[in-house]
Chains A and B, each alone.
Chain A
Amino acid sequence: GAGVSQSPSNKVTEKGKDVELRCDPISGHTALYWYRQRLGQGLEFLIYFQGNSAPDKSGLPSDRFSAERTGESVSTLTIQRTQQEDSAVYLCASSLRSGYGYTFGSGTRLTVV
């Protein structure tokens, strides 16, 4: 597609439930990133995929967080047993190659009640 697409745009969930966030990168972009943006704060790196290489998971805050990507296509970020502190905007970005310009999606606003 023309841009990075994320769904849903908004998600309200109850504490303890699992959620899945989806990211469709730009076609042909081999690199894909997930970031978290808490209210009034900067962006925190979560995880990075580059082609078929093992992902860089160094930013995942706990084992409740996981992400998958099949080849160079869609990625899913899963948060298990959600907590209130997981409330944030989750942003996905893709890049033609690492170190190049990133294109961000408009994010998924997650609210845990």
Chain B
Amino acid sequence: AQSVTQLGSHVSVSEGALVLLRCNYSSSVPPYLFWYVQYPNQGLQLLLKYTSAATLVKGINGFEAEFKKSETSFHLTKPSAHMSDAAEYFCAVILSGSARQLTFGSGTQLTVLP
């Protein structure tokens, strides 16, 4: 069965520091992978997605993620954190060729310290 694991339910970084949010998936076939962000009291917004094209995916707000098949990972990074990046981040997976629903990780709450 496919699943996705996010390491670290809470991550704190200083403003201007590197942001690294970890996501690993379990699947024998490379799935479609997504990162979503959720600001307080709002719905989910798509940051970026991997659909078997380029392994380095650039998203909105300066975020990017690299698909590494050998590590079954899809970690989210941003070179320099901004206060407005404080939110909850969810990694999600769809097994390619299957039916369809997104399976979400448990989320990582990012805090940005001044």
Chain A bound to chain B:
yes
B101 at the binding interface (Cβ < 8 Å)? yes
- Which residue on chain A has the smallest CB distance to residue B46? A101
Whole-angstrom distance between the Cβ of B106 and the nearest chain A Cβ: 4
Within 8 A of A (CB), among B37-53: 42-46, 49, 51
A104 at the binding interface (Cβ < 8 Å)? yes
B110 at the binding interface (Cβ < 8 Å)? no
Whole-angstrom distance between the Cβ of A40 and the nearest chain B Cβ: 9
Known pairs A42-B104, A42-B105, A48-B100; A99 contacts B43 (CB<8 A): no
A62 at the binding interface (Cβ < 8 Å)? no
CB < 8 Å neighbour of A48 from B44, B46, B101: B101
B26 at the binding interface (Cβ < 8 Å)? no
> At the interface, is chain A mostly helix, strand, loop or mixed?
strand
A residues engaging B (CB < 8 A)? 4, 31, 33, 35, 41-43, 45, 48, 50, 56, 59, 91, 93, 98-99, 101-107
- Knowing that A43-B104, A91-B44 touch, tell me 18 more A-B residue pairs with CB under 8 angstroms: A41-B106, A42-B105, A42-B106, A42-B107, A45-B101, A45-B102, A48-B101, A50-B100, A56-B99, A91-B43, A93-B44, A98-B100, A99-B94, A99-B98, A101-B46, A102-B34, A103-B46, A107-B43
